[in-house]
Each structure stands twice: as C-alpha cells, then as structure tokens.
C-alpha cells in the first residue's frame, strides 16, 4: 500500500469547481473529484496552521489545551506510527513554519524530508541591505509597509517591526523568482515527482506533499495572473492585512484575482501528479488524499483573512477528496456525512492496516469509502481562548467566552514555544506543574498564563465581536448573514460542545470560561 497526502494551505472550498466554484477554472481538482470521494461536510478543527497540523498528526483536537506550538513528546503522530510499522514516510514542503520554534517536531516525525525555501518571509537568498526604494515603487504600502527604511540600511528581524520585516523579506524574494520553476510550488511538485519516480516500483511508503500556496502572499507566475487580469494599474496588492475591508471595489477585485491565479497554479501542478498516477497505472496500488487546513476570507463578511473574526463557513468548511484502491468502480461520488480534520490521522493509519491509538478521538473514513455512513453527528472547532464553534451540518453556533479576559485560560504544555519565540520570562515565571491529562501518557504538564498580546489565540476575535454568542441556520442562510434565535437548538448544541470537551479531557477552567457549567452538570451530575 502507498499513500500520497496532498495538503494545500488556505485552499477555499468555494474556489474549486467540484464544490460549485465558478470564479476559478480548476480542471484538475475537478478531474480528481470525478474519480475520488468528495466530502461535502468536512470541517477544520483547531486553528490556524500549526494547531491544524497537530490535529492531523494526533487525531484529536488540541485548541482547548494550548495555542500554536510544537508537537508534544506524548503526542501520537501518524508519521511516526507509520514508520514504526514499516511504512517509509517522506514529506516535501515549503511550509516555513515547520522550521520555526513553534513548528518543531512535525517534519522530524517523518523518515525524511525535503524543505523548499522561499515561501512568504523565508528568504530564497539573503540581502542584508535590500533595495528598499526599488521595492517601494513596486509594492503597495498597505500590504508592504516599509516606513522610513532606506537603501543601504542593514535590516534585521529585531531592529524593525514584525510586519515590515516579514513583508519586506517576501518582496525581496520576488527579485529571485524570475522563472516559473523558481516558485516554491513548482519546486515542491518537482521534488515530489522525483520521489515518486525513484520509488515507483516500491511498496509501503507514504508521501506528504505540502504546499504553502495558495496561502498569502498571493504571488503567482505571470501567465496565471494574465488569465485573471482586472485592469488594475496600481502597485502590488497580494498580501491582505488581517483587518476589515477598506479597499475600493477595484482593489478588492485585484486581490481576489491574485488569489485566483495562485489557485489556478495549484490546480495545474496537481494535475502533474494525476498524470503520473495515470502514466504509471498506479491507482490500484496508491491512495490519494487532497485537502487543506482552513479557508480564507476574501472580503466576505467585510473581512480579510482569518483569526480575527468568527470562523465563518468560508474559513471552517473545507475541501476533502479521497481516492483509495478499494473504491475501483465507485468513485466520483459525494459523501454528505459530517467529517473533520482530525479524522485524517486514523484514516491514514487504517489505509495501511495499522491499529489506531486509544488516545485518538476521531474516526477513520475508510469504512465510509466502502459505503458506510460517517460516525460523526457534530463537530467543534476553534482557536485557543476564542469562540468555540459547533456544527451539525445544518446549524453553526459560536459560543463566545463569558469572560473576555483570555488570561483566564492557561495553556497546558511541556513545549513552551510561540510561533517564532520561546515563551517569555514572565510567562515561564507563571508556570505551575499540572496533573496529567488522559492523553499525555502519565506526563504532567506546565500550566502557564500567556501574554494576552501574543497574537496566536482567538482573543482578537473575542475583542472584535460585540454581539455575543450567535447561531446560524446554514440551510436557509448559507452565507451566515442573519443570526437566528432558537433556544432549543442552542441548548442541544451546547450539550454537544460539552460532550466534545469531556471526550478531549478539556481543562476544568474551560467550562466556566464559556458559561457551560449548567450543561456539564446536566450531563455528568457534577455541581
């Protein structure tokens, strides 16, 4: 058995023709959908990037215990488990966060990895004194603020603000993207296809091909951009700040067109993978999974991006397509049952006939591919300290904290790292030793009060939303434009939230933080 797991970042469900999208031609995603099972009610779990990947590795939600961070020593990783059972695991990725403090352990779980340089603010080549004046002429200051920086100035990560540093680094990267083959996505597929060629006669391997695109910045080769030309004549706008939309209609159209161009590139290169499977007649020996971690707002709900607003359907309702050799003759169908990101881990193990660890709280979808119904009635998702979203596929309910102070929820971890930096001295001085959870294999944890300004939690969403908890009827209001009042549905979904929290051995603080004590007492008999 061989498995190819293709993971794009921020691939919107609505951008794919097979899911009803019309703005971007996606002939290769659609071509795969004609062969695969297309899951129509697949949802994210922990958000954003690294929390989502921890879900994928471990088969359980992690957002109620900790925000962004590394794999923990006690975590089950599907990559490690596959390797321990004789399946060779390899990852090809340009996802730069894997190589920061907050992304450690993930690629190390594989037998081998190939890291492609140059995505976002990961430098292709280093210019210690970048040509600021030249770049300022090319890039719009709203997306690429360069302030008072000057040519001939040495710019370091710590002598300028984070936004300027990151965006100037990417602008500098574009100097070295002269040909299409220089783009990270092109290099990722080239590396993955080389792995496939070298191992086409072998069995018992797992390849994860993970592309950061179409995550922002929306930088695509010119031929893809030309297909979505808007007539816009201004400076480059391709990396929206996470904020309310204040752009003109012309500018919004241009930003969306830049995203569309990048999706089109992802689709075309995905087609090269399908071509290899066709050419090698490998479908009967190889499973193929295509999905993403979360979506991205492109002006919907008057917002750009994610993290700072409720996890609307555009963010949380994501694509999943799966081919398995056992499906021969029964592909091209829709699976309408509810599934979630965490289901990937047990599914990948199940593909290779490997037992699923007892700590896993999700479900393999392999039985679904063979004709049974999914096992999930509801799913919860969220960011640490942000609202908890619960959906049953018909309704989505966002339960906001009763206490807006995010510091009321401590983090539980033995890997105290933020995205880039380790926990601060102040954070570490707050640490207490906490008892093990049921998934930590007897390991106690550090209970740590986080700096509320770290920017990796759902606190920004809580601060930006003043209307309290809200319920949407997705059947009658798929755009989530008009919240409804239905106490019976709310009560039922609150019970579902508590059931998921109990299943994940959530910290005690979480029930009072979200005002769920009464619902918990009704389920457990606790006062």
List, as one string, the DSSP characters of 25-75.
--HHHHHHHTTSEEEEEEE--B-SHHHHHHHHHHSS--TTT-SS-PPPTT-
The pLDDT of residue 452 is 82
Q: Which residue has the tokens 């069995």?
A: 203
Confidence of residue 526 (pLDDT cuts 50, 70, 90): low
Residue range 391-434, pLDDT digits in tens: 999 999 999 998 777 678 999 999 999 999 999 999 999 999 99
The pLDDT of residue 205 is 98
Averaged pLDDT of the chain: 96
227 CB-near residues (< 8 Å, 6+ apart): 261, 264
Q: Which residue has the tokens 């730069």?
A: 96
Residue 224 to residue 259: CA distance in whole angstroms: 10
**Angle, CA 48 vertex, CA 191 and CA 360 arms, to 5°:** 85
The pLDDT of residue 132 is 97
Side-chain-side CA neighbours of residue 275 (13 Å) = 10
CA distances for 338 relative to 43, 193, 466, 477, 491, angstroms: 8, 33, 30, 19, 20
Assign 3-class secondary structure to 434-475: ECCCCCCCCCCEEEECCCCCCCCCCHHHHHHCCCCCEEEECC
The arithmetic mean of pLDDT across residues 201-217, rounded, is 98
Confidence of residue 371 (pLDDT cuts 50, 70, 90): confident
Alpha-carbon Rg of the chain, whole angstroms? Answer: 22
Q: Judge if the upstream peptide bond of residue 311 is cis by omega within 30 degrees of 0.
A: no
pTM over 0.85: yes
Confidence of residue 454 (pLDDT cuts 50, 70, 90): confident
Of the listed ranges 226-235, 237-246, 402-411, the least confidently predicted one is 402-411
Going by their DSSP bridges, the two strands 320-323 and 286-292 should be labelled as antiparallel
Residue 320 tokens read as 């999943």
Domains in the chain (CATH in brackets) are 2-117+181-215+264-377 (3.40.720.10), 125-176 (no CATH), 380-524 (no CATH)
Of residues 38 and 329, the one with the higher pLDDT is 38
- The H-or-E segment that residue 116 falls in is none
Edge-to-edge order in the sheet of strand 286-292: 112-115, 88-93, 205-211, 2-8, 286-292, 320-323, 37-43, 333-340
Residue 419 tokens read as 């995205």
In a 3-state reduction of DSSP, which class is residue 145? coil
The pLDDT of residue 355 is 98
- Residue 216 is given by DSSP the state S
The arithmetic mean of pLDDT across residues 106-129, rounded, is 97
The pLDDT of residue 376 is 94
Please give the span between the terminal C-alpha atoms of the chain, in angstroms, as a whole number: 51
What share of the chain in percent tops pLDDT 90?
93
The arithmetic mean of pLDDT across residues 44-64, rounded, is 98
Residue (of 25, 89, 69) closest to 264 by Cα position: 25
Strand partners, 38: 321, 334
The arithmetic mean of pLDDT across residues 91-119, rounded, is 97
Residue 367 to residue 373: CA distance in whole angstroms: 8
The pLDDT of residue 511 is 96
96: pLDDT strictly greater than 90: yes
Residue 142 to residue 53: CA distance in whole angstroms: 30
Q: Is the dihedral of CA 457, 462, 465, 471 positive or negative?
A: positive
CA distances for 73 relative to 88, 422, 428, 444, angstroms: 21, 17, 19, 11
Tallying the residues shown for the chain, one arrives at 527
Residue (of 158, 175, 177) closest to 166 by Cα position: 158
Q: How many CB atoms lie within 10 A of CB 487?
A: 8
Q: Which residue has the tokens 């091209």?
A: 332
Residue 97 tokens read as 């966060």
Q: Which residues in 242-357 belong to E strands, given as ranges?
A: 286-292, 297-298, 304-305, 320-323, 333-340
150: pLDDT strictly greater than 90: yes
107: pLDDT strictly greater than 80: yes
What share of the chain in percent tops pLDDT 70?
99
The pLDDT of residue 328 is 80
Residue 217 to residue 171: CA distance in whole angstroms: 10
Residue range 422-438, pLDDT digits in tens: 999 999 999 999 999 99
Q: Which residue has the tokens 């990796």?
A: 456
The pLDDT of residue 269 is 98
Residue range 331-349, pLDDT digits in tens: 899 999 999 999 999 999 9
Residue 455 to residue 451: CA distance in whole angstroms: 9
């Amino acid at each position: 058995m061989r498995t190819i797991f293709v993971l794009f970042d921020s691939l919107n469900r609505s951008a794919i023709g097979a899911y009803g999208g019309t703005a971007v031609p996606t002939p290769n995603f659609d071509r795969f959908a004609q062969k695969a099972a297309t899951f129509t009610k697949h949802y994210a779990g922990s958000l954003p990037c690294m929390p989502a990947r921890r879900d994928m590795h471990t088969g359980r939600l992690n957002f109620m215990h900790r925000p962004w961070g590394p794999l923990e020593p006690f975590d089950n990783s599907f990559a490690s488990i596959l390797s321990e059972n004789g399946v060779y695991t390899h990852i090809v990725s340009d996802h730069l966060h894997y190589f920061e403090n907050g992304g450690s352990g993930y690629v190390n779980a594989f037998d081998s990895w190939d890291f492609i340089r140059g995505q976002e603010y990961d430098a292709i080549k280093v210019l210690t004194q970048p040509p600021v004046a030249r770049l300022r002429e090319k890039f719009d200051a709203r997306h690429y603020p360069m302030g008072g920086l000057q040519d001939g100035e040495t710019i370091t990560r710590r002598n300028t603000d984070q936004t300027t540093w990151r965006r100037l680094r990417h602008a500098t990267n574009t100097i070295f993207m002269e040909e299409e083959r220089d783009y990270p996505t092109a290099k990722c597929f080239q590396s993955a296809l080389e792995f496939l060629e070298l191992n086409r006669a072998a069995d018992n391997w797992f390849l994860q091909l993970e592309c950061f695109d179409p995550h922002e910045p929306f930088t695509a080769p010119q031929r893809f951009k030309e297909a979505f030309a808007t007539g816009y004549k201004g400076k480059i706008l391709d990396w929206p700040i996470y904020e309310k939309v204040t752009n003109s209609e012309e500018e919004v159209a241009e930003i969306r067109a830049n995203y569309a161009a990048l999706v089109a590139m992802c689709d075309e290169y995905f087609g090269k993978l399908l071509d290899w499977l066709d050419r090698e007649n490998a479908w009967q020996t190889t499973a193929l999974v295509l999905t993403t971690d979360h979506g991205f707002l492109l002006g919907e709900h008057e917002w750009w991006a994610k993290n700072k607003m409720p996890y609307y359907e555009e963010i949380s309702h994501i694509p999943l397509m799966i081919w398995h050799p056992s499906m021969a003759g029964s592909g091209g169908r829709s699976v309408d049952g509810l599934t979630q990101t965490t289901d990937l881990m047990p599914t990948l193990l199940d593909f290779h006939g490997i037992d699923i660890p007892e700590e896993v709280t999700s479900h393999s979808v392999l039985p679904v591919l063979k004709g049974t119904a999914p096992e999930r009635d509801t799913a919860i998702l969220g960011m640490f300290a942000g609202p908890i979203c619960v959906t049953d596929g018909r309704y989505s309910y966002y339960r906001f904290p009763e206490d807006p102070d995010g510091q009321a929820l401590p983090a539980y971890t033995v890997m105290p790292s933020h995205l880039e930096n380790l926990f601060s001295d102040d954070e570490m001085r707050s640490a207490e030793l906490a008892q093990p959870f049921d998934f930590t294999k007897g390991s106690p944890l550090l209970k740590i009060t986080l700096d509320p300004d770290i920017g990796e939690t759902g606190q920004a969403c809580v601060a930006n939303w003043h209307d309290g908890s809200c319920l949407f009827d997705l059947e009658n209001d798929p755009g989530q434009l008009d919240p409804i009042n239905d106490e019976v549905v709310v009560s039922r979904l609150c019970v579902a939230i508590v059931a998921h929290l109990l299943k994940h051995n959530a910290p005690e603080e979480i029930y009072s933080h979200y005002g769920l004590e009464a619902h918990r007492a009704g389920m457990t008999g606790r006062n």
